Structure formats: structure tokens, C-alpha cells
């Protein structure tokens, strides 16, 4: 079994914000692949299903972003999984809107949810970073991530969400390059390999 975790904040106030992109992605994975109904477990909401030939547990922590690692660690212990069984989907301000990068290990790059996961299970998990763009001023970052996407942004982000969800079985099978290429083809974005940067 693999654990696919989307990062976000619970509650209607945050549902459509940029910072909840991870929640939106795993919701769409569950919907498109006929996963089980969501239920409350492991300090969050979980859904089980199969992506290709792989059993996957989807998790949306209910602990708020800064404590996401509490939920991830609880699920990891319960199912006796290892950090490299975990994929974390989240928003990335240092990528242009709609760009997708995948890598295992590295730093948190200022993302509090990723930092929390690292503090609880180490940094040996796979990161699926989905770009939301930078506001251009570090003083505006918090406002940027905690506000909703503009309608114009959703013309880019919407197809990326769909493509990531559709192509998730490739990620579950360990084919990161195939996943990225399939997402790029589906969204007509330039193809990209696994993220080489150390951030």
C-alpha cells in the first residue's frame, strides 16, 4: 500500500484557496478512480482505492497545515509503511502556475505543511509540487496562498488538477518520468523530468 497525502487546511473558509491545492488534487484522484467514500481516521479524512495495480490510501489531514505531519505519521504507523511509501501533493509558490515537479527528499522550501511532515517522518518521502506562482513580494506570500485562485488562474490550474488525477496510477507504479510526461501531454505544457534542484 502507498499513502497519497494532500496538504491543506480543513473547513469551508479554506476550501478553494491556493494553499488547499493538495486537498483538491486528492479529492479528484478519489473521484476519478472510484475510491471509497471519505471517512474520519488518522487525524484527518481517508479514502482507499486502487490506482492501477496498487492499493492506495488517500489522506487529507484535519490538523491544519502546520501540523500535517501528525496525521501522516499516524497513518504511517497504523499501516506499517515507510517514508518512501508516502507521496505528498502540495502547492508550490516557487513554481509557475500549473507546473508540476516530482522528487524524493530535499527541503521544505518554506512550506509549513512539508516542514511538519518532515519533522514527523523524516524527509525520505516523495513530493509532488504543483505551482501556484509567487506574488512577487515576500510580504504578500501569506495573503497569496490563503486566498482563492483568480478565475483566469483556474484556466491553467484546472486542467493540471485533472491531469494529475488521471495520471496518478503512473505515480503509484513508480513511473515518475512517465507521470510527468503524461501530465505535460494532457495539459500541453513542456515535458519535464524529475526535479533536479535541491530546494
Report which secondary-structure segment, H or E, holds 180.
helix 176-187
19 is catalytic: yes
- Dihedrals phi, psi of 10, to nearest 5 degrees: -75, 160
Report DSSP letters for 111-175, one per residue: -HHHHHHHHHH-S-SEEEEEE----SSGGGHHHHHTSBPPHHHHHHHHHHHHHHHHTHHHHHTT-
Among 19, 33, 42, 144, which one carries the catalytic annotation?
Answer: 19
| Distance between CA atoms of residues 144 and 125, nearest Å | 26
Output the CA torsion sign for 15, 144, 180, 89: negative
Report which secondary-structure segment, H or E, holds 86.
strand 86-92
- Dihedrals phi, psi of 107, to nearest 5 degrees: -100, -175
Secondary structure of the chain: what % helix, strand, coil (to 5)? Answer: 45, 20, 35
Residue 131, strand partner residues: 92
- Residues marked active site are found at 19
Amino acid at each position: 500500500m502507498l499513502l497519497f497525502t494532500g496538504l491543506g487546511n480543513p473547513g469551508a473558509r479554506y476550501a478553494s484557496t491556493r494553499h488547499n491545492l493538495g486537498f483538491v488534487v486528492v479529492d479528484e484522484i478519489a473521484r476519478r478512480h472510484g475510491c471509497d467514500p471519505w471517512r474520519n481516521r488518522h487525524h484527518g479524512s481517508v479514502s482507499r482505492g486502487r490506482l492501477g495495480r496498487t492499493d492506495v490510501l488517500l489522506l487529507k489531514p484535519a490538523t491544519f497545515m502546520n501540523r500535517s505531519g501528525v496525521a501522516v505519521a499516524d497513518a504511517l504507523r497504523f499501516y506499517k509503511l515507510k517514508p518512501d511509501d508516502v507521496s505528498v501533493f502540495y502547492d508550490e509558490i516557487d513554481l509557475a502556475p500549473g507546473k508540476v515537479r516530482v522528487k524524493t527528499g530535499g527541503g521544505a522550501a518554506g512550506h509549513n505543511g512539508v516542514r511538519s511532515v518532515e519533522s514527523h517522518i523524516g524527509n525520505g518521502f516523495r513530493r509532488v509540487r504543483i505551482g501556484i506562482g509567487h506574488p512577487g513580494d515576500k510580504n504578500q506570500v501569506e495573503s497569496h496562498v490563503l486566498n482563492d485562485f483568480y478565475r483566469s488562474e483556474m484556466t491553467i490550474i484546472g486542467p493540471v488538477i485533472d491531469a494529475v488525477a488521471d495520471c496518478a496510477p503512473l505515480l503509484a507504479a513508480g513511473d515518475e518520468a512517465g507521470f510527468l510526461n503524461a501530465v505535460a501531454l494532457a495539459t500541453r505544457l513542456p515535458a519535464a523530468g524529475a526535479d533536479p534542484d535541491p530546494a
